[in-house]
Structure 1
Amino acid sequence: MTDIKDNSENSSPFHKGEQALQSRMGVREQVERFGRRVIRDYMPDQHRHFYQQLPYLFVGHGDEDGWPWASMLFNRPGFITCPDDKTLNINTRPVKGDPLLKALNTGARLGLLGIELNTRRRNRLAAHIIQTDEQGLTLAVDQAFGNCPKYIRPRELDTCIADDMLPATVHGFTGLDDEARALIEKSDTFFVASFIENRRGEASEGADVSHRGGEPGFVRIDNHQSLTIPDYAGNFHFNTLGNFVNNPKAGLLFIDFENGHMLTLTGPVELLFDSPEIDTFTGAERLWTFNLHRGYWLKNALDLRWQLL
């Protein structure tokens, strides 16, 4: 593990890949000024309170081969505690078959997304593991910042889940089957993880996980391994795409909100800035393609259900 450098006035909150895209889009200086104001190395009190009331949390990490994966941790509200503004205790473990299970090592860099789908509120964290055991893990905060609610489709958490859930199953694959394609085609939401090695010891390096949303079908299925994904206007931080510049790989997580299944994928990506196909995706400013390397169906993994508002 590379030690994390202390934030200083001379240290940018963005790494070289993020800076390169900000420069390409002509927003480098203003985003740097804004980032230095809103990206902190601690959690403000309102963020601490927010995480402690959540029943679920999204996590991004990179495996030992550098492949990113997006995961979901969940438990009863209160499973996350923040004893101080630099520390999170998470009292749960990943579900069976989740690649995150193999990555819970001291020093591992994680990206976290706290999100309330019903209120459309979300906050982001970059952190690293300082302790782990059979009950959960403890994280130290590297970066913390808020996100706007753009593109989040409101969903209400259903508190009435049947006790007679089917057994959880895990199925690995290297091609998208009909069921996976059907889930992707109807999805208005997915989560994307990206990852770069923490070589320079900067807080901006490591893992990230982010929400992506649009109208159902906004992710185009090109064949049994390839997807094309629009990138809409955002905060110009380019946390995800900036990681792609340094490590062109992504982890995607699609959730079957009605049945409790999770579809998690990882594979190489390509950024498309000047493709004529951009005009075929309404509102897109650029595109990126995803090619499946490996995926897992985690069936009946969630004891949570959501209803679309």
Structure 2
Amino acid sequence: MADVYHEGERAVQSRAGVLDQAGFSAGAIHARIPDVAQDFLQKQVILILGATDRHGQVWASLLTGTPGFLRAEGETGLVIDAHPVAGDPLHPLFAGSDGPVHVGMIAIEPASRRRMRMNGRATTAGAGIRVDLDQVYANCPKYIQKREPRWTPTSPASPLRAGRLQDSQTDLITRTDTFFIATADRNGNADASHRGGNPGFVEVLSSTRLRWPDYVGNAMFGTLGNIECNPAAGLLFPDWETGSTLQLTGTARVDWDPERAAAVPGAQRLVEFAITGVVEIPGSSPLRWSAPVYSRFNPRAVQPEAPDHASLGSAKL
């Protein structure tokens, strides 16, 4: 079987000492959609899509729809009856004739703590998107908070753009229990992944710097492997209560210092993120979600100190 990992993933797996485990996990990566996965996709209402924009910046976007808006087309095709909303940084990629676009995707069902990752090449198909898939694989349910959705019809407001965080956005991040990260390898092949933990697991170091722990996972190191080759990354923070989305783009680096990791419960290593762009879209999603039931796998989070507003600045969008 051909090696499913690229050189960045192999380098990180080697440094972390998990090459054997990574070899075992590779068996979960397929080039086709299994029947059970086709059924799963048909029931989903959200999809996170990661890609590189026309300016070379990586973003993660939220797509929503009623059950059936995602569907398999054959064994290696995915049809998405949605585009990123107007104002989303990735909207222009699918509003014209761009393509094919390398995309990484994750379909996630918080209510059942199930998720499915897919990577491939996307083209605009009318009001939707068609993706020719290269990789399909399920992930374990660790660190997913259980939530139930409900629909609240809404229209996205105009996006708020800046180069740094403002106070309300800092508050959202410091109380978040879930975010999504998009990355790409040196050839532009994109990936989207989930990160979860107890509130406080993401630290706001300043208005342009974040840090979070990297917990024990499946040893594939798709995200960190991409960062090893290409530091560009995009983060998506959903506001589960209001339907707003906060998107960040910038660069990521892995801190391998064991002493600094030891100071954070559950951390195998730390990831730092330097923000270069911020987009907030109020009412981006018509979904509202119930209060979370936290995963039993979440390590205890270090309680954040009160923000230093002098350090954070008072950037207004």
Q: TM-score, normalised by structure 2?
A: 0.88
Q: Distance in 1 between matches of 2:262 and 2:250?
A: 25
Instruction: Identify the match of residue 256 of structure 1 among 231, 234, 239.
Output: 239
Q: Distance in 1 between matches of 2:37 and 2:267?
A: 30
Which letter maps to 2:231?
Answer: P
Distance 1:49 1:172, change over 3 A: same
1:17 aligns with 2:8: yes
CA distances 1:94-120 after superposition (whole Å, capped 9, x unpaired): 112111112232221100101100100
Structure 2 equivalent of residue 106 of structure 1: 99
Q: Distance in 1 between matches of 2:79 and 2:118?
A: 13
Secondary structure of the residue that 2:271 maps to in structure 1? strand
Structure 2 equivalent of residue 273 of structure 1: 256
1:172 aligns with 2:165: no
Distance 1:166 1:139, change over 3 A: closer
Q: Distance in 2 between matches of 1:34 and 1:276?
A: 28
Structure 2 equivalent of residue 73 of structure 1: 63
Which letter maps to 2:248?
Answer: L
Which letter maps to 2:236?
Answer: L
Following TM superposition, by how much is the alpha carbon of 1:276 offset from its aligned partner in structure 2, in angstroms? 2.9
Structure 1 equivalent of residue 108 of structure 2: 115
Distance 1:301 1:279, change over 3 A: same
CA distances 1:224-277 after superposition (whole Å, capped 9, x unpaired): 111111100000100000000000122110011101110000111121011532
Distance 1:135 1:31, change over 3 A: same
Following TM superposition, by how much is the alpha carbon of 1:81 offset from its aligned partner in structure 2, in angstroms? 1.6
Structure 1 equivalent of residue 25 of structure 2: 34
For the 8 Å contact 2:21–2:219, the answer to whether it is kept is no
For the 8 Å contact 2:25–2:220, the answer to whether it is kept is no
Following TM superposition, by how much is the alpha carbon of 1:149 offset from its aligned partner in structure 2, in angstroms? 0.3
Following TM superposition, by how much is the alpha carbon of 1:307 offset from its aligned partner in structure 2, in angstroms? 0.6
Structure 1 equivalent of residue 221 of structure 2: 238
Following TM superposition, by how much is the alpha carbon of 1:55 offset from its aligned partner in structure 2, in angstroms? 1.0
Following TM superposition, by how much is the alpha carbon of 1:53 offset from its aligned partner in structure 2, in angstroms? 1.2
- The alignment's C-alpha RMSD in Å is 1.5
Q: Distance in 2 between matches of 1:240 and 1:127?
A: 16
Structure 1 equivalent of residue 136 of structure 2: 144
Structure 2 equivalent of residue 3 of structure 1: none
Q: TM-score, normalised by structure 1?
A: 0.90
Q: How does 1:200-219 map to 2 (within 5 A)?
A: 206-219=189-202
Secondary structure of the residue that 1:34 maps to in structure 2? helix
Structure 2 unmatched ranges of 5 or more: 294-317
Following TM superposition, by how much is the alpha carbon of 1:63 offset from its aligned partner in structure 2, in angstroms? 1.9
Aligned length: 289
Q: Distance in 2 between matches of 1:123 and 1:167?
A: 26
Q: Distance in 1 between matches of 2:156 and 2:192?
A: 28
Q: Distance in 1 between matches of 2:163 and 2:258?
A: 27
Q: Distance in 1 between matches of 2:174 and 2:197?
A: 12
CA distances 1:16-44 after superposition (whole Å, capped 9, x unpaired): 00010111122224422430x22111111
Following TM superposition, by how much is the alpha carbon of 1:166 offset from its aligned partner in structure 2, in angstroms? 6.4
Q: Which moved more, 1:269-278 or 1:279-288?
A: 269-278
Structure 1 equivalent of residue 119 of structure 2: 126
Which letter maps to 2:110?
Answer: L
